[in-house]
Structure 1
Amino acid sequence: MTAFNAEAYKTTTHAQWQDAAKAWNDWGRVLQQWLGPATETMLDMAGVAHGSHVLDVAAGAGEQSLAAAERVGAAGRVLATDISENILEYAAENARAAGHEQLDTLVCDGEVLDVPPASFDAAISRVGLIYFPDQQAALGRIRRALKAGGRFAAMVYSTPDRNGFFSTPVSIIRERAALPPPLPGQPGPFSLGGSGVLASVLQTAGFEDIEEHVIEAPLCLPNASDCLRFEKESFGALHQMLSSLSPEKRESVWDEIADALSAYETKDGFVGPCEMVVVSGRNGKEIQ
């Protein structure tokens, strides 16, 4: 079995988000409608309130960063961090357009996050922790950044059977491209979704008073073709999985995915099954 290469994975992930940045930002309204309620739960569990200083790790185009900025107001601060400079440019642009001068951005790898110790009241990560090869390194840096008593909350997908809108394309691509199962330690969309898995990861990192909430978050769109376009334009990992196939075979796979996604169409439109797990923990003491 070939060993998982974390550095190569990071290089590929950076390239994926550099390329997908515009599309991910363009789908921002859909992201807000889809993940907005679960995001509010995440912010609640992190204790984000007026005047808070908030760290957002793997922030992407910053839709949830802006939600945090709304809460903290002019008296607070939000720092949105991400490995992709392209996507953070959209986060900064969105903040300016919304008049959120209290939101800053920082390009960095979350595993080596370098911010002043004990400088944040709260930290969040929405669908980002699942893609860190060394989650404990990232969580250690997040704990170091939090004040004593500060809380961190992360949102991840639950299990494949509860997330058909995403797991269906992944399984089809994996079969058609003859991809092996994920290697031990390899990050991925469902790597932290099992019952108690994320809670255990936070506990291992030293967080206390762990809380977990499971939230239904169906992806609702006019039809299945919209879901296909959403994933085809902005889910860079799917394109990476298809990279070994010829252009003709790739299109054939996308056609198969379109047929499979049509199973989630209802009289009210496309309703893609999705379930999120939100877990939070408290930093018991300052880490120097």
Structure 2
Amino acid sequence: METQLEQIRNQQKDSWDKFSPGWKKWDDLMMDFLKPMGDEIIKKIAPSGSDLVLDIAAGTGEPGLTIASMIPDGKVIITDLSDKMLEIALENAASRGIQNLEIKACDVTELPFPDNSFDKISCRFGFMFFPDMQIAANEMVRVLKPGGKIATSVWMGPEHNFWVTASMSTINSNMQLPPPPAGSPGMFRCAEKGLIASIFKNAGLKNIIETEVSGKLNVGTADTYWNMMTEVAAPFVAALSKADDDMKAKIKSEILDLVNQKYPDGTIVIPSSAFVISGEK
């Protein structure tokens, strides 16, 4: 692997390991928020019978855990860069009595599986962070059986996802942070319509479908929103780390005001939008 890509991978592994306690704390809220996208991925790949399914960048376990519960005669292998996130996934599997599941810490650009191994592959919100998205797609296709299906989700643009921009736009307006290099990993890296479909096509997939899916982040209060974002959102926390205490207090106050102004009734339920893209080998 090229040095730059390896550096990105290692940084991401460290970051997800670091934020794993926050994801464990907020798991119920986040999994409820991301469920519509996971459900659409499951709908597109249609796991059944004795399928062997690979769930990539699974984090705390979804949608792999749900898939495993649907195919008791099959099996799911979930992968992630972060060992600590996968430990939470195992805890979640145990609490739900799911036994037809294995975990494997690995990099998507170097999947440790033979060619033509899996019937189905899922990947919810991983592509935006992969160091090289085309290599990742090629690897997924390599380990997928002929006739097998892949589905992934990526966030649409900032105008569709206030739950991100409420924080990041406020930070940027206060701190004038330099924009990341074009094409570098980030939340909206895959927001361009047709981008992932093109990557899938280049990897050799056919019957590619791109669907828009909406979700809702039900945080209830602006304070809950702030607490959750500061414990699970690595880019948000990384940006805040460059601010002194006075600036952090100013940013927090402005974010809370912004969210409360948008939802004056005091019930914070923030809509979101994503693409789900599927294809067949």
Which TM-score band applies after superposition, normalised by the shorter structure? Answer: over 0.9
Q: Which moved more, 1:110-119 or 1:241-250?
A: 241-250
Of 131, 134, 137, the match for 1:133: 131
Inter-CA distance 80–167: structure 2 relative to 1 (3 Å threshold): same
> 2:38–2:62: 8 Å Cα contact kept in structure 1?
no
Unaligned segments of structure 1, at least 5 residues: 284-288
Aligned to 1:80: 78
What is the distance in 1 between the residues matched to 2:125 and 2:169?
A: 19
**Residue 26 of structure 1: how far off its partner (Å):** 2.1
Question: What is the number of residues matched between the two proteins?
Answer: 279
Question: 1:112-151 counterparts in 2 under 5 A?
Answer: 112-151=110-149
Flag as ranges the 4+ runs of structure 1 deviating above 3 A. 4-8
What is the distance in 1 between the residues matched to 2:249 and 2:4?
A: 29
What is the distance in 2 between the residues matched to 1:86 and 1:53?
A: 24
**Residue 52 of structure 1: how far off its partner (Å):** 1.6
Aligned to 1:200: 198
> 1:165–1:261: 8 Å Cα contact kept in structure 2?
no
> 2:260–2:266: 8 Å Cα contact kept in structure 1?
no
Tell me the TM-score normalized by structure 1.
0.91
What whole-Å deviation, never above 9, does each CA across 1:28-78 have from its counterpart, x for those lacking one? 2112322212211111112222322111111101132111111122x1111
Query: Per the alignment, in what secondary structure is the counterpart of residue 63 of structure 2?
Result: helix
Aligned to 2:254: 256
**Residue 141 of structure 1: how far off its partner (Å):** 1.0
**Is the counterpart of residue 93 in structure 1 residue 91 in structure 2?**
yes
What is the distance in 2 between the residues matched to 1:264 and 1:14?
A: 35
Q: What is the one-letter code of the residue matched to 1:229?
A: N
Aligned to 2:233: 235
Query: Per the alignment, in what secondary structure is the counterpart of residue 274 of structure 1?
Result: strand
> 1:53–1:72: 8 Å Cα contact kept in structure 2?
no
What is the distance in 1 between the residues matched to 2:4 and 2:27?
A: 32
Q: Which moved more, 1:82-91 or 1:177-186?
A: 177-186
Aligned to 1:24: 23
Inter-CA distance 127–203: structure 2 relative to 1 (3 Å threshold): same
Tell me the TM-score normalized by structure 2.
0.93
**Residue 129 of structure 1: how far off its partner (Å):** 1.0
Unaligned segments of structure 2, at least 5 residues: none
Inter-CA distance 68–263: structure 2 relative to 1 (3 Å threshold): farther
Q: What is the one-letter code of the residue matched to 2:69?
A: E
Q: What is the one-letter code of the residue matched to 1:6?
A: L
Query: Per the alignment, in what secondary structure is the counterpart of residue 100 of structure 1?
Result: coil
Aligned to 1:35: 34
**Residue 266 of structure 1: how far off its partner (Å):** 5.2
**Residue 240 of structure 1: how far off its partner (Å):** 1.4
Q: What is the one-letter code of the residue matched to 1:125?
A: C
What whole-Å deviation, never above 9, does each CA across 1:122-169 have from its counterpart, x for those lacking one? 001111111012011111111111100111100111110000111221
Query: Per the alignment, in what secondary structure is the counterpart of residue 29 of structure 1?
Result: helix
Q: Percent of counterpart pairs with the same letter?
A: 29
**Residue 268 of structure 1: how far off its partner (Å):** 7.2
**Is the counterpart of residue 278 in structure 1 residue 276 in structure 2?**
yes
**Residue 246 of structure 1: how far off its partner (Å):** 2.4
